[in-house]
């Protein structure tokens, strides 16, 4: 245990304060309200276009934003509380790095999405994009859960947000790929980036913390809060930044049916491979969500409801089998210790989603999309690409994403390996007490409770 | 215990896969995007009517849909986690049968609501209706909680959804009854159907599992998550498919005040009948919701705020007293083992709601409703019915619903009684371990946790 | 323990029934649907203005209302479940007094906001205002948590709602102050009112219940559900009743960034002052929310994103340090036993918010706000006030609020001190068993559970 310094007193406050001060300064210099949030500009717009306050985009994006926001903070946060003694860290470090990442993402994405006279303009759409980028960081966090300090996680977020914004720019602006729900930009990128970092941070003696790397009864129920919220709001996630009208409406429906089919596949597979036919909470908590990931790219396209269901069913199957058979192999052979199994929930289903997106795009015809083609595939509509070229560009985007994740993950992994971030030793991973004041032993308190309540029963009720 | 085969390995995967494959095939053959979700049709509509994307119904129904969705998956799911060792099954079987039922309901309701050239058209409104139908199945699940296998529940959903859609068609299309929030179609039907199934599946030796048919401290808190979400979003539930404008707005308000009054009645009655004046969590978790059920039919009508409050107050009173005095009698005399007390939460308040709806409808006048009569009572507005005829039709609808539930419940009960669905024996009901890999004993792990964290305190923090 | 009568059988049912009957009578006499919820009036409006149902304000306020509603019932309710044996009371008394307060607030605010021909008109905006007023009562509840009976709390709500509505009327209608998110009307008023009541109800022997006035592992996780929901939906809270268009949009963004910055400050400070650099759940659960309180007044103004972040950072810092250093002093020296530390979360940040609001208002210029000035500062726009006069009026509003809270708190405190409300003795505070039927001992049930599940493993799976 020599060399391990897990005291956060210096490292965490310093990191938080420095990062926040930099953010505030950069926001002061670079960030402005956009024309829908600025009092003067919006009222000028109202006058000039004889428009109505009811047409402010706020009313057509904010409910979606709030659903995404719930997924980021409750969904991801509680999904990771499944560990028996890591609930404080799961939900609170998720909270911390998300609160940082959304600010930093505003700047990075604003920079790439185009400055306006040297300024970044922000509104509800930039808030959704910032939450999306944050989601990617939280996926990577899932691979590292229990084995990293909050300082490492904040540092990872600094780099990952930057790489995310770069990759997103290459895909959406240079390659003109479509990826509204982020099968590639969010899920594939976040998962493989995190897995590579986990590989670099490989802990050969993690077995010593093995007895903590599992759930207890109530921690599994807390995790189900996360699962259910992710599942319910995934239609809002995939549709949050698609074009208004039929596009958002259709994306929601495709995702809804994909997830429903995925859930049946997950229960089927979990029972099929479980000892004695028993279901495994790990599968239900995670694999049932793969259907949302797998229609992240194609959800806005004319995938059809039954197409969505077929994709969802496949995703649930792959994901459950991945948890059962692939994860143990990856840990043993590839030395990738993937705490939450993000490879099964975000990695493989993300790639599936990218492939489904490429195929669906390459089959797009004017006959099916009508004038709606302009919203979904503006380049095909404009005659700049053929459908098959769009498909090829989607496929290239997947390759670029994987490349960025792998190279970026290696570099960031080595940066995070420096022994200066108050990380835990192998023997005390998955343990809140290392970073938290944990309330005293429950047993004795509960005994007291019982005694007290027996006292209460009698003398007072008359 | 002879004859009990609780292994799900064959039965559950087979059921899930067969059902999902049938669903995918039927969706492929029968289901199409409606004109608001189809790219081509919507853009044609935009051109032809010079309309705006902002007028896509998505923006006026989806927030309500998401609230309903939360009620179905979090509300019902967590409400049933009150049992000490059945939390996994409660929330996850709720998840499974809901994911199935919403797909199947899309087909059944689409079939009855009118096909378009042999096709079922789907959009946000069909999603809401599918969730509503699912709610009915989950109410029935409440009566059977802890005593059924997931295979039985899926099979029940197959039949119940079909009957629900038939009953709904008779009420809304043939009888021209109004029931936007489903006091009859959802609550009364779901409750009495479930109670009759529970009667047929009566378990004479259930006493042997009695020690598990109760809550522990934290399981009651998990259940309160369900309660509170149901309570908060009930206004959205009752208003989700009412007409736009004043109708949705008014339904929300009526439900809001009904629930508030119901809550005060519940606390009053619970303390009044509790030993030593003590409150009972079962009442708070359930009876406080009866106010939402009881304005399910009349909520869209001009019930007035104080009328809503009076109905809510009555519903909370009846429901709490039902839990205290009626449920034990029903179990002993009628042999109906109603795990969640759905008779008190959905059954009696549902009938109350139907009666309130019939009375309110029969009092409708043009003077009160003005031109708004067209939305609430189109047949009265068109001069086809008198108000009292509308009232009579509402009353007939209640009778039809009860008849359908009773007959349907008997038939389905006997189908579910076959010993081939991996159901639990009487001695091991209300127990997750029968279908789930349950995490090892908590005690020993927590001891380890304590030891570990003591270790942590000292050497690492320097 | 002589003289303590904690049996609720008479007091609670009587209080609930009397209050609800009065409410129903007053609603019957005084309350009417407004022109957007009344069938006749809305359809008349549609005809006269050739308007669309899609322009009913329901669609532009209800999603915000639902977010506020979640904060009131889940946010406040679960935030207070941190106590180890007071979870039932926390979430359920919160539920009870909120259900009462929102009805009573409808009347009180309706009375002050202006009657229409002797009638109070209600719609979605009055529902939001009622929930806001309820929030204030729940803040006061936080200071009294664990030491009061539900009868006392209901009585407090009766008085506090009345005082809240009076103070709100003085601030918004007489002084023409702006306070959309309620830094003054809700947070400052609720906190100081509650603190004064706590002072009057000082319990010298509360030490005897000390062992219960703390959390256990899972109770802290339940509390985090409350925290996260409050954090996520605070942007909706602050923007719920601001003007449509840029105002709501901007308020949301300012709050979003303020909270993000506040979170980083909270983690930094918590670790800095924690023993061994360890984080404290109390800080994360509470202080991370101070950023929402602190932009409650200025959030709708042109505070700029970086300005919001600076305010949030300051609020998180002050609040965390308050929990660490100020609360113990207040208890010892001032005899204020503030269970939830509402002084740190709502009191000081509320005052900060009022000051930030006054300063920001006094800096308002036509150049920055353009025509948007009319929505934010109608009196400055109309030329009735200068910006600095608006600032002065904001400052006076803070003083008035503090005065109302202090005087009102003293009076109400003494009323609540009468020994007739079934309050708990000093020795059994923070204990559910005094008012609740608490489920039996967990230990033995879990043992049974383990035994049973071992049985299950073997004979049944074949």
Please give the Cα distance from B216 to B82 (Å, whole number). 8
Residues B43-73: tens digit of each pLDDT: 999 999 999 999 999 999 999 999 999 999 9
- Would you call B438 and C453 a contact, using CB atoms and an 8 Å cutoff? yes
Instruction: Say what the pLDDT of residue C2 is.
Output: 39
By the 8 A CB rule, do C237 and C67 touch? yes
Tokens of B130: 């599918």
Contacts of B460 in chain A (CB under 8 A): 1, 4-7, 425, 428, 434
pLDDT band at C461 (very low <50, low <70, confident <90, very high): very low
pLDDT at A283 over 90: yes
pLDDT at B160 over 60: yes
Tokens of A356: 């489904």
Chain B touching partners, 3 or more CB pairs below 8 A? A, C
Please give the Cα distance from B152 to B145 (Å, whole number). 11
Chain C touching partners, 3 or more CB pairs below 8 A? A, B
- Would you call A372 and B445 a contact, using CB atoms and an 8 Å cutoff? no
Does residue A306 belong to the interface with chain B, where contact is any CB pair within 8 Å? yes
Q: Which residues contact B391 (CB under 8 A, 6 or more apart)?
A: B358, B359, B361, B362, B363
* Class of domain A16-49+66-435 (CATH, top level): mainly alpha
Contacts of A304 in chain B (CB under 8 A): 28, 33
pLDDT band at A405 (very low <50, low <70, confident <90, very high): very high
pLDDT at C300 over 60: yes
Does residue A250 belong to the interface with chain B, where contact is any CB pair within 8 Å? yes
- Would you call B73 and A232 a contact, using CB atoms and an 8 Å cutoff? yes
Q: Kind and range of the H or E element at B33? A: strand B31-33
Average pLDDT over residues B425-431: 95
Q: Which residues contact A306 (CB under 8 A, 6 or more apart)?
A: B24, B25, B27, B28, B31
What is the chain A residue with the closest CA to C246? A37
Tokens of C437: 């039927």
Average pLDDT over residues A335-342: 97
| Residues C407/C410/C411/C416 CA torsion (nearest 10 deg) | 150
Q: Which residues contact B208 (CB under 8 A, 6 or more apart)?
A: B426, B427
Of the candidates A32, A14, A346, A307, the one whose C-alpha atom is nearest the C-alpha of residue A155 is A14
Q: Tell me how close the Cα of B394 comes to any Cα of chain C, in angstroms.
A: 21
What is the chain A residue with the closest CA to B8? A277
Instruction: Say what the pLDDT of residue C366 is.
Output: 96
Contacts of A18 in chain C (CB under 8 A): none
Of the candidates C81, C93, C20, C2, the one whose C-alpha atom is nearest the C-alpha of residue C436 is C93
Does residue C437 belong to the interface with chain B, where contact is any CB pair within 8 Å? yes
C-alpha pair distances (Å), B204 with each of B209, B334, C448? 11, 12, 22
- Would you call A252 and B440 a contact, using CB atoms and an 8 Å cutoff? no
pLDDT at B2 over 70: no
C-alpha pair distances (Å), A242 with each of A181, A292, B55, C244? 8, 15, 16, 24
Does residue C271 belong to the interface with chain A, where contact is any CB pair within 8 Å? yes
Of A12, A99, A453, the CB nearest to C260: A99
Q: Which residues contact A444 (CB under 8 A, 6 or more apart)?
A: none
Name the residue with higher pLDDT: A287 or B447: A287
pLDDT at B169 over 50: yes
Instruction: Say what the pLDDT of residue B4 is.
Output: 65
Of C212, C215, C441, the CB nearest to A439: C215
Contacts of C4 in chain A (CB under 8 A): 460
Q: State how far Cα B353 lies from the chain centre.
A: 15
Instruction: Say what the pLDDT of residue C440 is.
Output: 72
How is residue A428 annotated by DSSP? Answer: G
Of the candidates C146, C138, C270, the one whose C-alpha atom is nearest the C-alpha of residue C214 is C146
Please give the Cα distance from A462 to C438 (Å, whole number). 18
Question: Which parts of C274-362 fold into alpha helices (H)?
Answer: 281-286, 290-294, 305-321, 327-333, 342, 348-362
* Count of other CB atoms within 10 angstroms of residue B403: 12
Question: Which parts of C188-216 fold into alpha helices (H)?
Answer: 189-200
Tokens of B194: 């479930």
pLDDT at B107 over 90: yes
- Would you call A229 and B74 a contact, using CB atoms and an 8 Å cutoff? yes
By the 8 A CB rule, do C435 and C150 touch? yes
pLDDT at A400 over 50: yes
Average pLDDT, chain A: 94
Most A CBs within 10 Å, among C87, C277, C376, to test the A interface: C277
Of A27, A53, A87, the CB nearest to C245: A53
Average pLDDT over residues A357-376: 97
By the 8 A CB rule, do B58 and B44 touch? no
Residues B288-340: tens digit of each pLDDT: 999 999 999 999 999 999 999 999 999 999 999 999 999 999 999 999 999 99
Does residue B19 belong to the interface with chain A, where contact is any CB pair within 8 Å? yes
Tokens of A459: 């003398």
Strand-pair category, B120-122 with B31-33: parallel
- Would you call B253 and C40 a contact, using CB atoms and an 8 Å cutoff? no
Tokens of B284: 């708070």
Of C13, C23, C225, the CB nearest to B272: C13
3-state secondary structure at position A289: helix
C-alpha pair distances (Å), B390 with each of A132, B177, B244, B363, B416? 51, 7, 22, 9, 38
The CATH architecture one would assign to domain C16-450 is: Orthogonal Bundle (1.10)
How is residue A279 annotated by DSSP? Answer: B
Instruction: Say what the pLDDT of residue B262 is.
Output: 98
Q: Tell me how close the Cα of A22 comes to any Cα of chain B, in angstroms.
A: 29
Does residue B70 belong to the interface with chain C, where contact is any CB pair within 8 Å? no
Contacts of C127 in chain B (CB under 8 A): 252-253, 256
By the 8 A CB rule, do B354 and B188 touch? yes
Hey, which bits of C94-194 come out as E strands? Answer: 120-122
Please give the Cα distance from B51 to B46 (Å, whole number). 5
Q: Kind and range of the H or E element at C203? A: none
Chain A touching partners, 3 or more CB pairs below 8 A? B, C
3-state secondary structure at position A180: coil
Please give the Cα distance from A410 to C455 (Å, whole number). 49
- Would you call A278 and B16 a contact, using CB atoms and an 8 Å cutoff? no
Cβ-based contacts under 8 A for chains A and C: 267
Of B248, B256, B277, the CB nearest to C127: B256
Tokens of B24: 């995918």
Average pLDDT over residues A143-161: 98
Please give the Cα distance from C332 to C351 (Å, whole number). 23
By the 8 A CB rule, do B398 and B180 touch? no
Does residue B457 belong to the interface with chain A, where contact is any CB pair within 8 Å? yes
Average pLDDT over residues B120-125: 97
C-alpha pair distances (Å), B245 with each of A265, B250, C53, C123, C462? 40, 9, 4, 12, 59
Most C CBs within 10 Å, among B251, B264, B323, to test the C interface: B264
User: A107-121, A444-458, C306-320: which range is least confident on average?
Assistant: A444-458
pLDDT band at C4 (very low <50, low <70, confident <90, very high): low
ipTM of the complex: 0.95
**Dmax of chain A from CA atoms?**
85
Please give the Cα distance from B461 to C15 (Å, whole number). 54
Average pLDDT, chain B: 94
- Would you call B244 and C53 a contact, using CB atoms and an 8 Å cutoff? yes
How is residue A213 annotated by DSSP? Answer: S
String of DSSP letters for B305-365: HHHHHHHHHHHHHHHHHIIIIIHHHHHHHH----TT-HIIIIIHHHHHHHHHHHHHHHT--
Instruction: Say what the pLDDT of residue A442 is.
Output: 46
Please give the Cα distance from A89 to A91 (Å, whole number). 6
Instruction: Say what the pLDDT of residue A4 is.
Output: 65
Please give the Cα distance from B29 to C302 (Å, whole number). 55
Does residue C444 belong to the interface with chain A, where contact is any CB pair within 8 Å? no
Question: Which parts of A169-216 fold into alpha helices (H)?
Answer: 189-200
Does residue B67 belong to the interface with chain C, where contact is any CB pair within 8 Å? yes
Instruction: Say what the pLDDT of residue C113 is.
Output: 84
- Would you call A279 and B127 a contact, using CB atoms and an 8 Å cutoff? no
Does residue C403 belong to the interface with chain A, where contact is any CB pair within 8 Å? no
Tokens of B93: 């079987």
Any idea which residue has 């209460």 for tokens? A456
Residues B256-292: tens digit of each pLDDT: 999 999 999 999 999 999 999 999 999 999 999 999 9
pLDDT at A189 over 90: yes
Q: Tell me how close the Cα of A433 comes to any Cα of chain C, in angstroms.
A: 9
Q: State how far Cα C162 lies from the chain centre.
A: 16
Contacts of B440 in chain A (CB under 8 A): 214
Of A257, A263, A457, the CB nearest to B95: A263
pLDDT at B186 over 70: yes
Quote the Cα angle for A178-A181-A187, to 5°. 105
Q: Tell me how close the Cα of B77 comes to any Cα of chain A, in angstroms.
A: 9
CATH 3.30.1310.10 assigned to B63-433: no
In the stretch 220-249 of chain B, residues with CB closer than 8 A to chain A read: 222, 225
Cβ-based contacts under 8 A for chains A and B: 267
Please give the Cα distance from A155 to B103 (Å, whole number). 44
Q: Which residues contact B389 (CB under 8 A, 6 or more apart)?
A: none
Q: Percent of chain C scored above 90 by pLDDT?
A: 92
What is the chain B residue with the closest CA to C101? B260
Residues C161-220: tens digit of each pLDDT: 999 999 999 999 999 999 999 999 999 999 999 999 999 999 999 999 999 999 999 999
By the 8 A CB rule, do A362 and A388 touch? yes
Does residue C37 belong to the interface with chain B, where contact is any CB pair within 8 Å? yes
Q: Tell me how close the Cα of B378 comes to any Cα of chain A, in angstroms.
A: 29
């Amino acid at each position: 245990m020599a060399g391990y310094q897990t005291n956060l007193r210096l490292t965490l406050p310093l990191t938080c304060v420095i990062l926040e001060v930099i953010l505030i300064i950069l926001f002061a210099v670079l960030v402005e309200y956009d024309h829908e949030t600025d009092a003067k500009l919006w009222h000028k717009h109202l006058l000039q276009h004889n428009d109505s306050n009811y047409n402010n985009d706020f009313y057509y994006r904010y409910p979606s934003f709030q659903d995404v926001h719930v997924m980021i903070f409750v969904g991801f946060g509680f999904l990771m509380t499944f560990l028996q003694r890591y609930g404080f860290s799961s939900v609170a470090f998720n909270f911390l790095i998300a609160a940082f990442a959304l600010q930093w993402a505003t700047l990075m994405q604003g920079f790439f999405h185009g400055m306006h006279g040297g300024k970044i303009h922000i509104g509800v759409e930039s808030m959704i994009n910032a939450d999306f980028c944050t989601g990617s960081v939280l996926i990577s966090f899932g691979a590292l859960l229990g084995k990293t300090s909050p300082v490492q996680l904040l540092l990872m977020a600094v780099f990952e947000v930057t790489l995310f914004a770069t990759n997103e720019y290459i895909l959406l602006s240079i390659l003109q790929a479509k990826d509204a729900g982020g099968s590639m930009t969010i899920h594939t990128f976040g998962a493989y980036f995190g897995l590579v970092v986990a590989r670099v941070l490989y802990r050969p003696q993690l077995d010593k913390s093995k007895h903590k790397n599992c759930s207890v009864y109530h921690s599994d129920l807390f995790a189900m809060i996360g699962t259910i919220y992710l599942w319910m709001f995934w239609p809002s996630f995939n549709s949050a930044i698609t074009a208004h009208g039929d596009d958002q409406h259709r994306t929601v429906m495709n995702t809804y049916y994909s997830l429903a089919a995925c859930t049946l596949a997950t229960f089927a597979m979990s029972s099929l491979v479980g000892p004695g036919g028993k279901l495994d909470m790990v599968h239900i908590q995670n694999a049932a969500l793969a259907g949302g990931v797998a229609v992240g790219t194609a959800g806005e396209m004319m995938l059809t409801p039954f197409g969505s269901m077929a994709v969802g069913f496949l995703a649930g199957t792959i994901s459950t089998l991945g948890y059962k058979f692939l994860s143990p192999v990856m840990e043993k052979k590839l030395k990738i210790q993937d705490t939450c199994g993000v490879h099964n929930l975000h990695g493989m289903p993300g790639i599936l989603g990218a492939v489904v997106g490429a195929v669906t795009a390459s089959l797009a015809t004017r006959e099916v999309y009508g004038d709606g083609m302009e919203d979904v595939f503006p380049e095909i509509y404009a005659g700049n690409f053929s459908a098959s070229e769009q498909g090829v560009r989607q496929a290239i985007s997947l390759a670029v994403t994987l490349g960025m994740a792998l190279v970026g993950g290696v570099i960031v992994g080595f940066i995070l390996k420096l022994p200066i971030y108050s990380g835990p030793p192998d023997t005390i991973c998955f343990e809140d007490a290392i970073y938290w004041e944990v309330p005293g032993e429950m047993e004795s308190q509960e005994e007291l409770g019982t005694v007290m309540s027996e006292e209460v029963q009698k003398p007072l009720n008359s």
